[in-house]
Amino acid sequence: MFWKDKSLEQLNHSEWESLCDGCAKCCLHKLQDTETEEVAFTWVHCSLLDCSTCKCSDYPNRLELVPNCLKITYQELEKISSALPSTCAYRLLYEGKELPSWHPLISNDLQSIHTANISIKDMAINELEVDSDELDLFIIEDEDF
């Protein structure tokens, strides 16, 4: 359990990447209230996301192809943690919390995130199918998201 033995800052690249549970929630469009700075997730996902697998179709080049793609690094966690879902391993560990039982590092099953209905697998809409001015119509109301 390397994530318990090391701080997030001490993790190597492979360990850091393995913290991602594969939920793809970070690939959803978010709206931020300019007054409260609260972040609302929508059911609209980036066009690079394959929603049937919850994997980016061009992960190595995503930051060049999608200028507002969320790059999760230890150095950025303080600034972006509110843009991560409450279930995100990076956010949970940053906040000093435990990984949940459905996390693949705990369950030893890459599908457990989908079985537990934590991922957005087959649930979101491609941004190419939505008018960007209507994102507010797709806000996710679930407080535990």
Residue 31 is part of which domain span? Answer: 2-138
For 73-120, how does the pLDDT look when each residue is reduced to its tens digit (9 = 90+)?
Answer: 999 998 888 889 999 999 999 999 999 999 999 999 999 999 999 999
Q: Is residue 128 situated within a structural domain?
A: yes
Q: Is residue 67 situated within a structural domain?
A: yes
The C-alpha atoms of residue 61 and residue 43 are separated, in whole angstroms, by: 23
SS (HEC) of the chain = CHHHHCCHHHCCHHHHHHCCCCCCHHHEEEEECCCCCCEEEEEEECCCEECCCCEECCHHHHHHHCCCCCCCCHHHHHHHHHHCCCCCHHHHHHCCCCCCCCCHHHHCCCCHHHHCCCCCCCCCEEHHHCCHHHHHHHECCCCCC
Q: Is residue 52 situated within a structural domain?
A: yes
So what's the pLDDT on residue 112? 96
Q: Is residue 36 situated within a structural domain?
A: yes
Question: 39-45 and 125-126: which strand pairing?
Answer: parallel
Q: Is residue 143 situated within a structural domain?
A: no
Q: Is residue 42 situated within a structural domain?
A: yes
Q: Is residue 144 situated within a structural domain?
A: no
Q: Rounded to two decimals, what is the model's pTM? A: 0.90
Q: Is residue 21 situated within a structural domain?
A: yes
For 37-84, how does the pLDDT look when each residue is reduced to its tens digit (9 = 90+)?
Answer: 888 999 999 999 999 999 999 999 999 999 889 889 999 998 888 889
- Number of structural domains (the chain) is 1
Within 8 A by CB and 6+ apart from 37, the residues are 82
